[in-house]
Amino acid sequence: MNTCYYCKGDIERARIEHMARARDGYVFVRNLSVERCTQCGEVYLDAAASRQIDAALDDADSAQERLQVPVV
């Protein structure tokens, strides 16, 4: 993907911090490699990013840094 689905802006690789939904809150994923629109900031998660999120969720049970964020 080279252009944004929404605004047709340029897409670039970026590393972001992502809040992934977990069973009882959210897990903070650091250095998530994604594609992001340089114009509107829309983030596109590819297969590798999805795997990275899944791995973070798997680790969440033993992680010390799990955030206790109430689910709204």
Q: Indicate the residue among 37 and 60 with the shorter CB distance to Zn ion.
A: 37
Nearest to 39 by CA among 1, 18, 11, 15: 11
SS3 42: coil
Interface residues for Zn ion in 36-55 (CB under 5 A)? 37, 39-40, 42
Site size for Zn ion (CB under 5 A): 8
CB of 45 to Zn ion, least distance (A): 15
Give the burial class of 66: count Cβ atoms within 10 A of its Cβ; 0-12 exposed, 13-18 middle, 19 or more buried.
middle
Residue ranges that bind Zn ion, judged by CB under 5 A = 4, 6-7, 9, 37, 39-40, 42
